[in-house]
Amino acid sequence: MALPSFTIVTPCLNAAATLPLALESVCGQDYPGDVEHVVVDGGSTDGTLEILESTGVRYVSEPDRGLSDAVNKGIRMARGEVIGWLNADDTYLPGALARVGEALASCPEALWATGPCLIVDADGAEIRRAVTRYKNLFLRRYSYRLHLVQNFVSCPSTFVRREAFDRIGVLDERFRYSMDYDLWLRLGRLQAPLVLDRPLAAFRMAEGSLSMSGFERQFAEHTQNAGEHGAGHPVAVSLNRLPSRMIVAIYRAMRRARRRAGKAAS
């Protein structure tokens, strides 16, 4: 059984604090097939380029139009048969590529594969286990209709065959936060993903990250994504608004609680 080659695309900008862990999580995979790591830097000034030079990883550094543009550059540069998108503050878990490669090799008609993803804090400690269990509950029961209601597919633990991009295109630069959900829905229209049962990656959730700073706009874009790709599923598209509003309300409450705790501590 021939294992597919991988290209891991990492967009970054001033990511010197976390990039070494992302790089290490890729080079430490011990995958028996070919693995290429492409880093697309937006013009960092914090030491990121020095890190990239010292590791010898393939990279480009130049201004871009945002995250989607950066990832699209990496996809176009990719030589591998399967492409993963790992942000500079996220990491792969040991053995992740082997599990994905074996799953895709055993199912050559599969266009994409995904699996559970842990949530960690700035120090790498797992947090929000209840959220992870909630997402995994839906992931194990994947259907396109269910996915229209809410995005439970995690970006760091999702891998796409390069030929799929030839069929559906790359990331849509209209979206600042939900370009991944838009991509997953376009893929889902073609085919359901292979769903692996073990965690593949860790997503770092820290103040200042794109996902934390723009969560309200992110869920507004989610609703737009569902509307654009939900033809034939009007109920699912309508329901998309409910969990989005609930999650935004929870995030707002958590942020208020953190602020109150910070004021009390000072």
The CA distance from 189 to 41, in Å, is 31
For 241-255, letters b (16+ CB in 10 Å) and e give bebbeebbeeeeeee
The CA distance from 41 to 185, in Å, is 27
Q: Please give the single-letter amino acid code of residue 91.
A: T
Domain boundaries, the chain: 6-205
Q: CA 75, 81, 87, 89 torsion: positive or negative?
A: negative
Q: What is the pLDDT of residue 262?
A: 63
Q: Identify the segments of the chain with pLDDT beneath 50.
A: 208-212
Q: What is the pLDDT of residue 251?
A: 65
Q: What is the pLDDT of residue 161?
A: 98
Q: What is the pLDDT of residue 243?
A: 67
The CA distance from 202 to 96, in Å, is 11
Q: What is the pLDDT of residue 210?
A: 45
- pLDDT per residue over 58-74, tens digit each? 999 999 999 999 999 99
Q: What is the pLDDT of residue 66?
A: 94
Q: What is the pLDDT of residue 1?
A: 74
CB 225: neighbour CB atoms within 10 A? Answer: 25
Q: Name, in order, each residue with C-beta under 8 angstroms of 248's C-beta and a sequence gap of 6 or more.
A: 215, 216, 219
- In CATH terms, the fold of domain 6-205 is Spore Coat Polysaccharide Biosynthesis Protein SpsA; Chain A (3.90.550)
Q: What is the pLDDT of residue 214?
A: 66
Q: What is the pLDDT of residue 74?
A: 98
